[in-house]
Amino acid sequence: MAKSKYEYVKEFEEDDKLLRNVYILVRIDGKGFHKFSAAHEFAKPNDVRALNLMNHAARSVMHELDDILIAFGESDEYSFLFRKSTDLYQRREAKIVSTVVSLFTSAYVYYWSDYFQDSRRPLYPPVFDGRAVLYPSEVEVKDYFAWRQADTHINNLFNTSFWALGTDSKDKNEMLFTEFNTNYSKLPAIFRKGSVLLREQIPKEMHKDAIIPTLPETLPGSMSASASLTSSTSSTLEQSVPEPALESSGQ
């Protein structure tokens, strides 16, 4: 096709290709979900319908984007880890982040009524933001997920105490137990530890040429909310895996 005289404006676009051969991590987070959760009468501190809807939306993202290996969700956020070798959109950052955010958000609304059965759709359109972060090795990747899961735990302990006590308090576990008959460690894992979605692994023999070893089996012990994580002994992060068999913890 012949170029129009206006074509030059395309040259104003910046190259935002992400560095090759490093992990791409995309995290999305709900905008103003403190208010959104109040407006939609989420159970406090943890509305399990809302968490399951988040998980469903994340599963939709993983179905669409094959190069996502693992995803972790808590509260109004979700993290998606892409394989190092992904060439999705030639690694263009804006395309990758905007696609994840858009797909997640539309799925969240699309599946809303499956989880909030008393309403056909949310009272107003929910908004999610997104960012990409690059991590050079499995050390940072594992620490990243440990960081997010520590956040889940700290927030949940605070929130559980807050909603029980009406205020912050020292020695929350003890007070919860003695005064509120709540054994914190017995609360559902989906509240304490978040959710993990893991692409099902395929046997090693089928991937003799796989080069990058074993992130799932070496994830921190604190991630053990998902049995599939700790039991995936024949996996490597850089394998290509066809069908997402997505499991989430705490359900």
Which residues sit in the known binding site for Mg(2+)?
29-30, 76
Residues 43 to 102: which contact Mg ion by CB under 5 A?
75-77
32 DSSP 8-state letter? T
Strand partners, 227: none
Nearer to ligand ATP, 225 or 237 (CB): 225
Stretch that binds Mg ion, among 10-18, 22-30, 99-107, 146-154 (CB under 5 A): 22-30
Nearest partner of 30 among 79, 77, 90, 92, judged by Cα? 77
Query: Distance between CA atoms of 92 and 97, rounded to whole angstroms?
Result: 9
Q: Scan residues 133-172 and list those touching ligand ATP (CB under 6 A).
A: none
> Contact between 32 and ligand ATP (CB under 6 A)?
yes
Interacting partner of 44 out of ligand ATP, Mg ion, none (Cβ under 5 to 8 A depending on kind)? ligand ATP
Stretch that binds ligand ATP, among 10-18, 47-55, 111-119, 202-210 (CB under 6 A): 47-55
Q: Which is nearer to ligand ATP, 54 or 229 (CB)?
A: 54
Residues annotated in a binding site: 29-34, 75-76
Q: Give strand pairing partners of 71.
A: 80, 197
Instruction: For residues 69 and 199, give the distance between their C-alpha atoms in angstroms, rounded to a whole number.
Output: 6
Asked if 76 touches ligand ATP (CB under 6 A), the answer is: yes
DSSP string for residues in 94-148:
HHHHHHHHHHHHHHHHHTHHHHSTT-SS-SS---EEEEEEEE-SHHHHHHHHHHH
Burial of 14 (0-12, 13-18, 19+ CB in 10 A): exposed
Distance CA 216, CA 71 (A): 12
Quote the least distance from Cβ 36 to Mg ion, whole Å: 8
Site for ligand ATP contains 131 (CB under 6 A):
no
Contact set with Mg ion (CB under 5 A): 29-30, 33, 75-77
Q: By the criterion CB under 6 A, which residues form the site for ligand ATP?
A: 29-34, 37, 42, 44, 46-47, 50-51, 75-76
